[in-house]
Amino acid sequence: MKKNWIHEDVQSYFTQMRDKRLAFRRRYAYFHGDVIAFLQRMVPPKSRVLIVGCDTQDIAKQLTGREIYILEFDASPARDAVPAHVTIVQDLEDTLRQGELDYVVLPHTLQFLEDIQSFLEAIQQGIQAHTRLIILEYNFFWAPFLKIAEKLGLKTPFHELNWLSSNDVRNLLVLTRYQQVTSGARCLIPIYIPVVSNAVNRLLSNLPLFRWACQRTFTIARPLNKVQAGRSLKTSVIVPARNEAGNIANLLDQLPVLGSSCEVIFVEGHSKDETWKEIQRQIQSHPRREKFQLQAFQQTGQGKADATRLGFSKATGDVLLILDADLSVQPADLVHFYDALAGGTAEFLNGSRLVYEMEKHAMQILNLFFNKVFGIFVSWLVGQPVKDTLCGTKVLYRRDYERIHDAFLPLASLDPFGDFELLFGASTLGLKICDVPVRYKERTYGSTNIRRFRNGWELLRVCLTWWGQLR
């Protein structure tokens, strides 16, 4: 590691304090275990990971990444054997040149560096647009209390730290061409009290009144200078359709051709009208059929979420777009979603019907109220602003959907529409989420398939389940 990133005397200090440091890690196993639990949730099993910092072996052993590289501040030899998928490295630049990384984990690392900017810039040699930085810091609020704890022998003595506020970290990321995706706080109670510690730390730590008192903060960031803006990508538009026979032709009339080529996948689900026949008719005879690769499937399961997953499983495009067949969202607005994704503005685009003035009967007042409530709740859960969580129009890369599907399938069955599965999955993967305003129109054919009270309860249950999972 270059000397202008970390002083040799700091490395020597870590080595000298090794035995005492390990004793304190055992004493405060609950506090240190919180880092492990957080990283196990954030880092999928098949990832390639670089961990830089102190006591990286303890972290690496408990992650299941495909390949894990550790660069340890403690210069002493490894204290025990490491698993086969973990490699101890000595040089940052050589490690970065070895190949593409999915995650760079920095557990309190920035607090020990002499030149944080040079370090963050150097990391960009071995990362791609999808790579995520996971930065953990001790909360600046606790600086004087930790000093007192060191004096009283209640905490590992540390070399002098860089005490970085959340704003400091965000500014350093801006200076080095990263974008903060989300941030938060963890571990309000750092010692284990049966039932109480887990309940408080999971449910309360990120609430506004408690967040400032947590022991540590986290930041997820992505590299902006690796984003390939302006690419032309193949797109797949998924159209769930139930009792929408009168809208199919109009949808193809209005749908723009997106990207280098555009396939449209209709998924019909147990319609009582002639939706399936109409889809087949339009595939054969619509005047614009040659502009798209048109496909149609009938779902065997139930509900929009199941229909969407079927469409995604058949898609071959780089980009997946969901467009409801009721035409309440204008097909022309998909251009804005595609441009934002292809241009690198964000990695998960969520439609928002709550910006432009909507038509008079497009959304009932009770639906509008619950949409706003769910927007506030879900925004807090995912750590990014999402104004209209229940808008059916969502856009993401197929590669990211596959990761969401693999990681969160057991919980997906709870979600009747699939919106929360995608939002919560995108958040856990550290994807940058952005709202795209859409024009919301009143139906001109058919009636809504939503059962507001039943579906509202199901969505609340999804949120409460994910509350425990995400936090």
Is residue 90 included in any domain, yes or no?
Answer: yes
Question: The domain containing residue 267 runs over which residues?
Answer: 234-470
Q: Are residues 161 and 240 in the same domain?
A: no
Is residue 1 included in any domain, yes or no?
Answer: no
The pLDDT profile of the chain, 471 residues, written as one tens digit per residue, is 554 577 666 777 777 777 777 887 888 889 889 999 999 989 988 899 999 988 888 899 999 888 999 988 876 655 667 788 888 888 888 778 776 899 999 998 998 888 899 999 999 888 999 999 999 998 888 778 877 877 887 777 766 678 888 889 999 999 999 999 999 998 999 889 998 998 888 878 878 788 888 989 999 999 998 887 767 899 999 999 999 999 999 999 999 999 999 999 999 988 999 999 999 999 999 999 999 999 999 999 888 889 999 999 999 999 999 999 999 999 999 999 999 999 999 999 999 988 888 777 767 777 778 788 888 888 888 889 999 988 989 999 999 999 888 766 556 667 767 888 899 889 889 999 999 999 888 877 766 666 655 666 667 777 777 776 655
Beta carbons of 433 and 426 less than 8 angstroms apart = yes
Q: Are residues 63 and 205 in the same domain?
A: yes
Is residue 2 included in any domain, yes or no?
Answer: no
CATH code of residue 156: 3.40.50.150
Beta carbons of 209 and 185 less than 8 angstroms apart = no
Q: Are residues 411 and 431 in the same domain?
A: yes
Q: Are residues 263 and 156 in the same domain?
A: no
Q: Are residues 339 and 413 in the same domain?
A: yes
Q: Are residues 316 and 459 in the same domain?
A: yes
What is the number of structural domains in the chain? Answer: 2
Domain stops at, among 202, 226, 250? 226
Q: Are residues 305 and 425 in the same domain?
A: yes
